[in-house]
């Protein structure tokens, strides 16, 4: 299998005019196994999306290095697909042409046209090849976004809160779709989420991060078999554990003295 991510001592700073630099990430060390589904969770501003962008190659680290299958990540690549919270579809293109966009940009569409239909079918939109974004629901548009990323056969799929804008019912259905696609494709998936239940439901491991500067507080393995029941005692216990870690992540308790 391919798609192993190695992160070594990564620090990321952002400059501010007339102010001190903001340290978004500090000393990140992490290994993500090929074919693993991992969720990054933590408070807003802790660097989750920044870490995803570093893996995507959209930004570079100030200290440390990131690797995919032993090769250093230095720039964006179709081998690392990225899906955002907003589907970001081209409104003037239909579903087929939105999914085919990356293949056309790489000048390989003619030889891979059948792949477009294959991935549209994979995300359950076989009847919507000719539909335009304004004719789709939010969940359907996000499926198109997934198909557009997957058609390039990425080694790693990076998901930046892809279900955050969906209603609860659609979101749960899309979670099941993600698991189905992940199990079928065996693609390494790394997802940013604020939803603890979502992280537990989907992931092999949940990576809990501290408030800025973002560090890894704890890596938690989810050992429940799939499909997972959200009311299972083990599931509920893990949720309580993660919420407790999030509550105290990065905080040092001051001793109390009684005189």
Question: For the segment 179-212, what is each residue's pLDDT rounded down to a tens digit?
Answer: 999 999 899 999 999 999 999 999 999 999 999 9
> What is the pLDDT at residue 249?
58
**Hey, how many other C-beta atoms are within 10 angstroms of the C-beta on 114?**
8
> What is the pLDDT at residue 250?
57
> What is the pLDDT at residue 165?
84
Domains of the chain by start residue, with CATH = 5-79+154-248 (3.40.50.300)
Q: Are strands 5-16 and 19-32 parallel, antiparallel or unpaired?
A: antiparallel
Percentages helix, strand, coil for the chain, rounded to the nearest 5? 35, 25, 40
Question: For the segment 111-128, what is each residue's pLDDT rounded down to a tens digit?
Answer: 999 999 999 999 999 999
> What is the pLDDT at residue 18?
78
- d(CA 114, CA 32) in angstroms, rounded, equals 31
Return all residues near 166 (Cβ < 8 A) that are at least 6 apart. Answer: 138, 139, 142, 174
Question: In which residue ranges of the chain is pLDDT below 70?
Answer: 248-259
> What is the pLDDT at residue 254?
47
What's the pTM? Answer: 0.91
> What is the pLDDT at residue 99?
97
Q: Please name which of 100, 54, 108, 56 lies closest in space to residue 77, comparing C-alpha atoms.
A: 56
């Amino acid at each position: 299998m391919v798609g192993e991510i190695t992160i070594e001592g990564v620090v990321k700073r952002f400059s501010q005019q007339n102010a001190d630099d903001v340290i978004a990430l500090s000393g990140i060390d992490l290994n993500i196994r090929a074919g693993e589904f991992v969720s990054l969770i933590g408070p807003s501003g802790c660097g989750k999306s920044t870490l995803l962008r570093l893996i995507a190659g959209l930004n570079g680290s100030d200290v440390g290095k990131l690797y995919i299958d032993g090769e250093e990540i230095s720039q964006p690549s179709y081998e690392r697909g990225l899906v955002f919270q907003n589907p970001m579809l081209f409104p003037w293109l239909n579903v087929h042409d939105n999914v085919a966009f990356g293949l056309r940009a790489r000048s390989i569409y003619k030889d891979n046209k059948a792949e477009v239909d294959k991935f549209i079918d994979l995300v359950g939109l076989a009847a919507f090849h000719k539909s335009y974004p304004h004719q789709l629901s939010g969940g359907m548009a996000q499926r198109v976004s997934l198909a557009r990323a997957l058609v390039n056969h990425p080694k790693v799929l990076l998901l930046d809160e892809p279900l955050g804008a969906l209603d609860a019912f659609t979101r749960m259905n899309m979670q099941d779709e993600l698991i189905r696609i992940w199990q079928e494709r065996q693609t390494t998936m790394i997802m940013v989420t604020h939803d603890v239940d979502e992280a537990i439901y989907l992931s092999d491991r949940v990576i809990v991060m501290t408030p800025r500067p973002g560090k890894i507080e704890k890596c938690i393995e989810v050992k429940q078999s799939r499909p997972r029941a959200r009311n299972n005692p083990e599931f509920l216990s893990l949720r309580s554990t993660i919420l407790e870690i999030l509550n105290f992540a990065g905080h040092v308790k001051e001793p109390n003295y009684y005189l």
